[in-house]
């Protein structure tokens, strides 16, 4: 019951109630990515994504990002996009989390290269 109320009144938890109805009536499942996000398309070529967990646009991998923005890529032809060994795995935006980049994470490793004249 709580999940249904969240879907009716909030958009950031998962798909909204309107998106769920629209997906059921008009959506055709195109595929899923390695994170569990599902990608849909209707007969008018409108495309959308249903996120597995929290809604965050940076959770879409590059190949699906180009598909959802109607950029021609190999995904439309093969459905399989080969990744090279040297390519990094996609990671979402980590800003605001513990894994976010910070140049001052290890403050002991950073040494001043100068002395202040007021001590």
The predicted pLDDT at position 18 comes to: 75
The secondary structure of 26-79, three-state, reads: HCEEEEECCCCCEEEECCCCCEEEECCCCCCHHHCCHHHHHHHCCCCCCHHHHC
Residue 20, SS3 per DSSP: helix
The predicted pLDDT at position 40 comes to: 92
3-state helix, strand, coil in the chain (%, to 5): 25, 10, 60
pLDDT at 74 over 60: no
pTM exceeding the 0.75 threshold for the entire prediction: no
Residue 110 banded pLDDT, cuts 50, 70, 90: low
The predicted pLDDT at position 41 comes to: 92
| Residue that wins the pLDDT comparison between 40 and 95 | 40
Distance CA 90, CA 88 (A): 6
In the chain, the N- to C-terminal Cα span, in Å, equals: 63
pLDDT at 109 over 60: no
Residue ranges per domain, the chain? Answer: 2-78
The predicted pLDDT at position 105 comes to: 63
| Residue that wins the pLDDT comparison between 5 and 71 | 71
Digit-coded pLDDT (tens) for 6-57:
666 665 566 677 778 888 888 899 888 888 899 999 999 899 998 887 777 8
């Amino acid at each position: 019951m709580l999940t249904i109320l969240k879907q009716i009144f909030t958009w950031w938890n998962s798909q909204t109630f309107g998106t769920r109805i629209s997906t059921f009536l008009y959506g055709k499942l195109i595929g899923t990515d390695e994170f569990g996000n599902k990608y849909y398309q209707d007969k008018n070529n409108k495309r959308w994504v249903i996120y597995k967990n929290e809604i965050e646009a940076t959770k879409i991998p590059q190949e699906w990002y180009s598909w959802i923005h109607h950029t021609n890529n190999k995904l439309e032809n093969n459905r399989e996009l080969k990744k090279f060994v040297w390519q990094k795995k996609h990671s979402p935006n980590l800003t605001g989390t513990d894994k976010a980049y910070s140049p001052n994470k290890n403050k002991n490793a950073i040494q001043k290269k100068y002395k202040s004249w007021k001590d």
